[in-house]
């Protein structure tokens, strides 16, 4: 019984639940925001199922592709494949089944949703298969892949390919990604170096990389400001924007002045919560 439970937990861990939840959450917020304007519960539910399966499948396949370096890095050596909880072929079949199921469900919606699902999965898998090991700019090149769920949500609920509002939401994720990943990579730079992964903080001076983190944090917040100003309650939006911006900017500059891996890890954790709060604020403004 214990072995079965461990295996089941291993399959769940392969989907990277925290990342899965965050990407699912972005699609959920956009889906609900548009559902409030043009109600279609069945479309929303089909969309969410497709995002859940597609992202879970993609995440599982990234674990399969990273199985060699995951076994070397201290941060990841307890994942199911290095630990042997789930076999390599099992992970490959499981991830492929989830991904194809998720993409198959998009055919119940419209071709735009399928397009975003395929593009997003391809970019993420391309990152783990080649980019991650080939160039220090891997994160920047692949970052649009993380925006696919929110773009798919827009296309599912409206039947349209793209417009300004979902573009701003996508840019939020694109600008947020370097802040999120590079801060973690600085903290685990020795781990990445040991595994031979040329993350930017590994091949360049960490403080120079942190300047880029500040740049992308500013771009991320400016994009959020533009998004908030599209609300009819612009004054309230500005107040909330100020309250949200201060902790992130303060920690970014504090981590630069008093450079330490611990502050980089704090920035990584804050960036997760911050993106969720920005999306919640967007949902609030959309309902007004």
User: Looking at residue 206, what is its pLDDT?
Assistant: 87
The conformation of residue 143, written as its DSSP 8-state character, comes to G
Q: Is the Cβ–Cβ distance between 38 and 66 less than 8 Å?
A: no
- Alpha-carbon gap, residue 11 to 210, rounded angstroms: 35
- For residue 228, the tally of other CB atoms under 10 A from its CB is 23
Is residue 277's pLDDT more than 70?
yes
Q: Tens digit of pLDDT for each residue in 68-122?
A: 999 999 999 999 999 999 999 999 999 999 999 999 999 999 999 999 999 999 9
Residue 110 DSSP symbol: -
> What number is the average pLDDT over the span 196-208?
93
Mean pLDDT of 144-166: 97
**What's the sign of the alpha-carbon dihedral 88, 15, 275, 228?**
positive
Evaluate if pTM is beyond 0.75.
Answer: yes
What phi, psi does 233 have (nearest 5°)?
-95, 65
Q: What is the share, in percent, of the chain residues with pLDDT greater than 70? A: 99
- DSSP conformation letters of 89-124: HHHHHHHHHHHHHHHHHGGGT-HHHHHHHHHHHHHH
Residue pLDDT, tens place only, 240-268:
999 999 999 999 999 999 888 899 999 99
Does residue 235 surpass a pLDDT of 70?
yes
Query: Residue 1 pLDDT more than 60?
Result: no
Residues 15-31: pLDDT tens digits? 999 999 999 999 999 99
pLDDT of 4 strictly over 90: no
Distance CA 138, CA 136 (A): 5
Cβ within 8 Å of residue 58, ≥6 positions away: 95, 99, 120, 121, 124, 125
Query: Which helix (H) or strand (E) is 9 found in, with range?
Result: helix 2-14
Question: What percent of the chain has pLDDT above 90?
Answer: 90
| Structure confidence at residue 234 (pLDDT) | 81
- CA distances 36 to 105, 133, 287, Å, are 23, 43, 7
Q: How far apart are the first and last CA of the chain?
A: 51
Structure tokens at 39: 């109600």
Residue 2 has pLDDT above 70, yes or no: no
Neighbours of 103 (CB within 10 A): 19
Average pLDDT over residues 7-15: 96
Q: Is the dihedral of CA 11, 126, 136, 182 positive or negative?
A: negative
């Amino acid at each position: 019984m214990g072995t079965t439970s461990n295996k089941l937990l291993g399959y769940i861990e392969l989907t990277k639940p925290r990342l899965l939840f965050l990407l699912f959450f972005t699609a959920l917020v956009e889906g609900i925001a548009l559902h409030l304007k043009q109600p279609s519960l069945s479309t929303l539910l089909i969309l969410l199922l497709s995002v859940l399966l597609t992202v879970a499948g993609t995440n599982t396949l990234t674990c399969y592709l990273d199985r060699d370096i995951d076994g070397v890095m201290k941060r990841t050596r307890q994942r199911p494949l290095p630990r042997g909880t789930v076999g390599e072929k099992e992970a490959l079949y499981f991830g492929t089944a989830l991904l194809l199921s998720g993409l198959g469900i998009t055919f119940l919606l419209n071709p735009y949703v399928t397009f975003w699902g395929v593009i997003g999965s391809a970019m993420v898998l391309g990152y783990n298969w080649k980019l991650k090991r080939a160039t220090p700019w891997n994160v920047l090149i692949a970052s649009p892949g993380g925006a696919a769920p929110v773009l798919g949500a827009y296309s599912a609920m409206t039947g349209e390919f793209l417009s300004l509002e979902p573009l701003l939401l996508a840019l939020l994720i694109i600008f947020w990604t370097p802040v999120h990943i590079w801060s973690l990579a600085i903290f685990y730079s020795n781990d990445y170096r040991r595994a031979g992964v040329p993350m930017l903080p590994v091949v360049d001076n960490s403080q120079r990389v942190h300047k880029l983190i500040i740049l992308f944090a500013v771009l991320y917040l400016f994009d959020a400001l533009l998004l908030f100003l599209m609300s009819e309650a612009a004054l309230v939006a500005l107040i909330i924007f100020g309250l949200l911006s201060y902790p992130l900017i303060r920690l970014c500059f504090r981590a630069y002045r008093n450079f330490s891996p611990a502050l980089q890890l704090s920035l990584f954790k804050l960036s997760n919560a911050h993106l969720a709060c920005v999306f919640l604020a967007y949902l609030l403004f959309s309902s007004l």
